[in-house]
Structure formats: C-alpha cells, structure tokens
Structure 1
Amino acid sequence: MNQQQSYEGGCACGAVRFRANGPPMRVGMCHCMTCRQVHGSAFGSYAMFDRSAVTLTGNTREWQSSEKGRRHFCPLCGSVAFMMYVDREEIALPIGAFDDTGLFEPAYELWCKHKEPWLPRGVRPEYDEERAH
C-alpha cells in the first residue's frame, strides 16, 4: 500500500496549523523586498503546494502583498502562516513554519536583484525578478 507523506507546521504560537500531503510542486527562495520585510530576514523560503493538498486550521488575517498575492498571518503572534495567489491554485508554505527541519531544499532563487551581496551566488538557478511558473 502506497502511503503518501504528509508535512505539518504552523505559526509560532500554534494557533494556526497546516498539513500538506505529498511532495511540493516546487521549492524556492525569494529575495523580494516584501519577503525580506515580512520575514525580517534577507530572504523568504517557500514550499509550493497545490491548494487541494493542504489543510488549514485556525484563524488568520489576510493582506494584499502584491497584485495577485495574499499573505496570511496569525493575528495572535503575527507570524507568517502562508501565502495564496488569486490567479493560481497553489499555496506557499514558509519552510521555517514546518515542524521538522531538513524537509525541502530550494531549487531556485527569485528577485536576486535584491539579494544581499554576502550571500553565495550560483548555488541554484537565479532570476533577477519572477520566473515563469
């Protein structure tokens, strides 16, 4: 019997939880200014799943972070819970929000025109801005 792997995670306080079933569609790093500010770090890293593969529990607040992006965060602790898009049936789950470490390795980097100069170059494919989906 083939049992599908599932991955769990959530916000810092545990009020928002998610479960993702099966492998992600892709995994990447983003150096855009919004990801930098939202995460308070030099980049954000996300595992992208089909929306139908993810179950969410708990209440979130949403804000429009770009024309097509909607970021959800926990109203109690403020941590990033996930991101959805209005034009795609996918959900971006922050790698740092999973319960376990070492699950996914990014395969590409976006918005490298904002990449910190002290980060290594050429480790994975890099795009100055967005990439084709």
Structure 2
Amino acid sequence: MGRYRTGGCMCGEVRFRVEGEPIRTGLCHCKDCRKYSGSAFTIFAVWPLSWFSMSGHIGTYAGRSFCTNCGARLFSLRAEEAEIMVGSLDEAPSTLIPSYELWVGRREEWLPELPWTDLHQGDRDPNRESWRQPMRVGHTGGGR
C-alpha cells in the first residue's frame, strides 16, 4: 500500500496504524458525538477494517473505543470499517478534508457550512452509492 498513518492515545498505551488513504472523511454534529468528544462536532476518517491494526488495551462503550488508562477516544470498529478520530493521529490531519457532514441541523450557528460537503440531516445511509471520493489538499471545492 505504501502510505500509512499512525496514531494513539495521550498516555501511549494504545497505538494504531492505518494503511493507505481513507474511504471517506466526514464531520458529525450529533448529540452522541458531542458527548463523546466534549466538542461541538467530531471529524473522522474511515478505512477498511483490514487496513487497521492496533496494540494496547481498549475499552468500548456504545461502539466507541478508548484507552482504558487515559480515556482518550480513538476509533469505532465495525464489521468492515475502522472509523478513526482524526485528532488521535500522530500527524496533523490537514490532508483529510471532509466530504460530508452528518446531523447538520445540530451544527452550531457560528460554524459556517463547508460549501464542498454533502449535507445530511441524520446518519449516513450505508446503501447509498453516491458518496464522494475523499478530497485532497489543494482541491478547490465544488458544491453539493
């Protein structure tokens, strides 16, 4: 695959690695993501589960995994995907540009709409085939 990214928790107990580029990158404004992140929204990137590996001890609550030592939220693992909280990556996630937003009705009024993202009132429909390819740095956008 070539390119890979590494990440982990604050205390170093949990480490992970993802191969290649993500399938998609998104923002979520839902109440659960706010509670888990302690922020107004979360940003995440999704890789195939087979491209993900980890070491260390994790706990999982409601599908969200965290370090049992320091409590840092890291990822959510599903049957075929690994959703990585991009803030847990070792390098700044500036090349991971969101292509969609979830729960936009809950976006804070002071947070402007990203004109290149697809907007959704709720969760992503996994049966929908029209998800955009992840954008790369230098992309000028392009509306919905």
Structure 2 length-normalised TM: 0.82
1:14 corresponds in structure 2 to 12
| 2:122 aligns with one of 106, 114, 129 | 129
- Residue 20 and residue 129 in structure 1: after superposition, are their counterparts in 2 closer, same or farther (change >3 A)? same
Question: Is 2:72 the counterpart of 1:79?
Answer: yes
SS at match of 2:40: coil
Residue 103 of structure 2 aligns to which amino acid in structure 1?
W
SS at match of 2:90: coil
Residue 103 of structure 1 aligns to which amino acid in structure 2?
T
SS at match of 2:119: coil
1:54 corresponds in structure 2 to 52
- Distance in 2 between the 1:109 and 1:89 partners? 21
| Aligned structure 1 segments of 4 or more residues deviating by more than 4 angstroms | none
Identity of aligned pairs, percent?
36
SS at match of 2:50: helix
Structure 1 length-normalised TM: 0.88
SS at match of 1:24: coil
- Distance in 2 between the 1:41 and 1:13 partners? 20
> Can you give the 5+ residue segments of structure 1 that lack an aligned partner in the other structure?
65-69
- Distance in 2 between the 1:14 and 1:31 partners? 28
SS at match of 1:113: helix
